A and B are shown apart, each in its own frame.
Chain A
Amino acid sequence: MSTAPTPEQPLALRTERSSGNGPHAPKRILVLGATSGIAEACVRLWAARGDSLYLVARNADRLAAVAADARTRGAALVDTAVVNLDDTAAHPEMLAHAINSMGGLDIAFLALGVLGDQQQAERNFATASQILHTNFNAPVSLLTWLANYAAQRHAGTLAVLSSVAGERGRKSNYVYGSSKAGLTAFVDGLRNRIDREGVRVITIKPGPVRTAMTENMKGSAKFADVEAVAATLVKVIDKGSDVVYVPGIWRIIMAVIRAIPERIFKKLSL
């Protein structure tokens, strides 16, 4: 592609094949942020059941290792793109390439995101802005393209990794939390818009999961096992509800957290 399309233009796509039907028809899955712990665990399960995968991440060596694993486990096709997804201008070309490479798209899984350094973000807006850009702006750009693509075809599933941290701001991570709160609101709104077009939009809210992102947190040894979380996600992305808490207990925990009156909440050290 010589010139990047503007958001009003459609993605530059070749003719597509149909996704196939039947219970074990292989899915064509785009994974954005494929080297994140939760994404990689899902990739392993998708690969093992023979799906086609297009994996995007910014670190070439890490992406190559995740792709090799997916190929070895039996993915029908594994293609990769080394892209820094912070660069929103690169999104349309990357997405067009992904869809062309797989001959269509059944599932897009958005797992890009950073935890960021809360304390530094409190002192330095550049840090806060970077967290918001990676966790909010970049997914919004991707979802804008993907939503229009899927709505036009009246098909597809957009699964977006948000977080329970977006449900209530807390002093320990409100910058990260607010980026996820924004993302949750965006994804919920998007679902309201394109569910009627036949596109499934899933908001995923993991509780704390033991991955590279969380390993330095206090109590990380007790966090949810990423393989169990991935098994749940693969299931709900195939067929499940609109808003998913994993592990499920977090639906209840967050209901309690949200119910705490602010005059008490503001005094808590959370």
Chain B
Amino acid sequence: MSSSAELDFHTPQPDAASNKPDGPPPFESWGRYPAYQAELKHLHWQGDFPRAIDGVHHGALAVGMGRSYGDVCLLKDGTLLETTSMNRLLGFDPATGLLTAESGITLAQILDFAVPRGYFLPVTPGTKYVTLGGAIANDIHGKNHHHAGTFGCHVTQFELVRSDGRRLFCTPTENSDYYSATIGGLGLTGVITWAQLRLKPIVSRKIDYQGIQFHGIDEFLELTRQAEHNEYTVSWVDVTSTGKNFCRGIFMQGDHSQVPAPLRPSPKPKLVFPMELPGFALNGFTVGTFNALFFNKQIKKRVTTQPDYEPFFYPLDAVLKWNKMYGKRGLLQFQYAIPWEHAREGTVAILQAVAKSGLASFLAVLKAFGDVPSPGMMSFPKPGITLALDFPIKPEKSFALFDRLAQMTNEFGGRLYPAKDARMTSAQFQTFYPQWERFARYKDPALTSGLWERVVGGQLGVRGGGR
């Protein structure tokens, strides 16, 4: 151990090494693409913003755990305000399950607190390592969208701080326009300092689970209909197979067990993905093999078990930093929602295009969205089918495929999820979210993001309009 290097810890370094133009980016999104240089500051207290951006004129953005995939949590040459140390619990009512917390708290930290007290998240994504603020800003959804709607449906109030120092108390009835613009508002309407969330009661950590094999989109749709009453449904679909195995998958449904059982906190994960794999490690063969193994892991047509909620909701959280599996170049996610009118044909066409391209994808997740409306102005889900795919980045090939898939999504009347996007064009964004101009009225002039600069950018002159 070099003790002299260790001892540098008290040297004030106003210009951290990470600010060198050629250094590694100080903050990455989960896809690790694009890689932008930015200044990284930390918000520790609710009063830190807007003071933290005094003298900042190049745009700023509050960010959390960096679990969104593309550039919605990045800002080229801007100032990122990392919120994860602003993670205090501010209040909890055990009778109603209303929890108030600062916005940098993670869903994992909320679960550690809530589960032993008999409560669970009303909506949870596929990772618990996201912040409360990020969950609101991206109006995230989960396996119970068809019952519970989006995360924002359960956010009863929050404080939004604007760069001019105004502190807005937002509820569905008070400052309701800012409430609506901030849910799904991609962090652009101000900084959420704290929020109140309505948790749901549970009596057990267990999930009553069924996994059912399906072959083809019609079997998937039939299973979706049959599982209408199950709280959680999601499917894994094999996007590498063609012919008779095309669109085969496993339909997974679950409900919280109603049999009371001990509500212990979860153990901490210990596995960390050890290194970046070289680009060739993920190819058609390895991914096809993975998909076949995953499908055949479940030998029987139907499997009934009672897993803990951790592997049911967060199978990938068991390995920290699993995104390094995709190597230096990172990965792209692609997620659409296509309304029922064209959902079937759109999904088949897109799955065919993906299978034909031979560009591997490990994780393809298929789900039917329900019709619970979100309070969020810019919320992504809409009733229909959603499909999420990820690809290792192979510049020419995967970008061309992506652009084609985005175009197809548009043709089928669907839209893409900003939290998982790094490629959609300005015209596409504005078609997917025609309400964007109304939304822009609530945008904070000092805040912007990589995504916003890409899809709206100069049209509003936002970058110049800072403090």
Contact = CB atoms under 8 A, between A and B. Distances in A.
Contacts of A68: 88-91
Nearest to A117: B12
B303 interface: no
Interface string B74-107: 0000000000010011111000000000100000
Contacts, number: 85
B16 interface: yes
Interface string B1-43: 1011111111111101100000000000000000000000010
A269 B2 CA distance: 13
A134 to B, nearest CB: 16
Interface stretch (A99-107, A186-194, A211-219): A211-219
- The number of chain B residues touching the other chain, given as a range, is 20 to 34
Contact of A218 (B8, B85, B90): B8
Contacts of A257: 3, 7
Interface in A215-233: 215-220, 223
B10 A115 contact: yes
Nearest to B41: A215
Contacts of A218: 8-9, 11, 13, 16-17
B432 interface: no
B10 A173 contact: yes
B13 A69 contact: no
A66 B13 contact: no
A248 to B, nearest CB: 14
Interface string A81-104: 000000000000000000000000
B46 A65 contact: yes
A1 interface: no
B89 A219 contact: no
B11 A72 contact: no
Contact of B10 (A61, A170, A256, A268): A170
Given A69-B89, A72-B90, A253-B3, A212 B42 contact: yes
Contacts of B46: 61, 65
A46 to B, nearest CB: 14
Given A65-B45, A65-B90, A268-B4, A216 B10 contact: no
Interface string A191-220: 000000000000000011000101111111
Interface string A232-263: 00000000000000000000010011000000
Nearest to A253: B3
B313 interface: no
A247 to B, nearest CB: 12
A152 interface: no
B8 A212 contact: no
Interface residues of A, number: 37
A122 B261 CA distance: 62
B47 interface: yes
A49 B113 CA distance: 12
A270 to B, nearest CB: 5
A69 to B, nearest CB: 4
A155 interface: no
A73 B12 contact: no
B44 interface: yes
A62 B8 contact: no
Contacts of A144: none
Contact of A170 (B7, B16, B85, B90): B7
A212 B16 contact: no
Interface string A39-82: 00000000000000000000001100110110111000000000
A156 B11 CA distance: 37
A268 B2 CA distance: 13
B9 A208 contact: yes
A118 B85 contact: no
A150 interface: no
B12 A216 contact: yes
B4 A270 contact: yes
A252 to B, nearest CB: 9
Contacts of B88: 65-66, 68-69
Contacts of B1: 253
B9 A72 contact: no
A61 B91 contact: no
Contacts of B92: 72
Contacts of B91: 68, 71-72
A165 to B, nearest CB: 6
Contacts of B10: 115, 118, 165, 170, 172-173, 176-177, 208, 217
Nearest to A115: B10
Contacts of A61: 45-47
A215 B102 CA distance: 20
Most B Cβ at <10 Å: residue of A68, A71, A115, A119: A68
B11 A172 contact: yes
B91 to A, nearest CB: 6
Interface string B378-413: 000000000000000000000000000000000000
A257 B91 CA distance: 46
Contacts of A214: 9
Given A69-B89, A72-B92, A218-B17, A118 B6 contact: no
B3 A256 contact: yes
Most B Cβ at <10 Å: residue of A66, A118, A215, A269: A215
Given A73-B113, A256-B3, A172 B8 contact: yes
A270 B9 CA distance: 9
Contact of A217 (B12, B47, B90): B12
Closest 6 CB pairs between A and B? A208-B9, A173-B10, A69-B88, A72-B89, A218-B13, A172-B11
Given A73-B89, A176-B10, A217-B12, 16 more contacts: A37-B85, A61-B47, A62-B45, A68-B88, A69-B88, A69-B90, A72-B89, A73-B113, A208-B9, A216-B16, A217-B10, A218-B9, A218-B16, A253-B1, A253-B6, A257-B3
13 contacts: A61-B45, A61-B47, A65-B45, A66-B88, A68-B90, A72-B90, A214-B9, A215-B42, A216-B13, A216-B16, A217-B8, A218-B8, A268-B4
Interface of B: 1, 3-14, 16-17, 42, 44-47, 85, 88-92, 102, 113
